[in-house]
Amino acid sequence: MSATAHIRLDLPVMLQTLAKFHGELVFELPAPASMAAVLDALELRYPSLRGTVRDLNTRQRRAYLRFFACMEDISHRALEEPLPPAVQQGREPVLVIGAVAGG
């Protein structure tokens, strides 16, 4: 595996608007990258997103958000666990998805 992971991250549009960017993000991180490392990099690049994906106090994923990669729900994996190889190589993105709600 390459020493660098090329992580593609898709965030909900509301967070893109909050952080004033549009589209998919790419992070170059030491391999193997974990979801925790991706979120660290995200919050470093966009401080306004601190606390919006994982709780500022507990550091855990916020309850109404899910993480998906390679057609799988990876929300309940440990945040420190390496992401799937296809994600590390940039072939698949990590998706942060908000729970569907409405009436």
Partner 1 sequence: MSGVRVLVGTRKGAFILSSDGKRKDWDVSGPFFAGWEIYHLKGSPVDPNRIYCSQSNSWFGQTMQRSDDGGKTWEAVGNHFAYDGVPGTHQWYDGTPHPWEFKRVWHIEPSLTNPDVAYAGIEDAALFRTDDGGHTWAELSGLRKHGSGPHWQPGAGGMCLHTIVLDPSDPQRMYIAISAAGAFRTDDGGATWKPINKGLVSEFMPNPEGEVGHCVHHIAMHPSRPGVLFMQKHWDIMRSDNAGDQWHEVSGNLPTDFGFVIDVHAHEPETLYVVPIKSDREHFVPDGKLRVYRSRSGGNEWEPLTRGLPQENCYVNVLRDAMAVDRLDDCGIYFGTSGGQVYCSPDGGDTWQAIVRDLPAVLSVEVQTLA
Binding site for partner 1 (CB under 8 A): 12, 14-15, 17-19, 47-48, 50-53, 55-57, 62, 64-65, 98-99, 101
Give 30 or 57: the residue with its C-beta nearer to partner 1: 57
Give 57 or 71: the residue with its C-beta nearer to partner 1: 57
Give 52 or 88: the residue with its C-beta nearer to partner 1: 52
Secondary structure of 30-87 as H, E, C letters: ECCCEHHHHHHHHHHHCHHHCCCCECCCCCCECCCEEEEECCEECCCCCCCCECCHHH
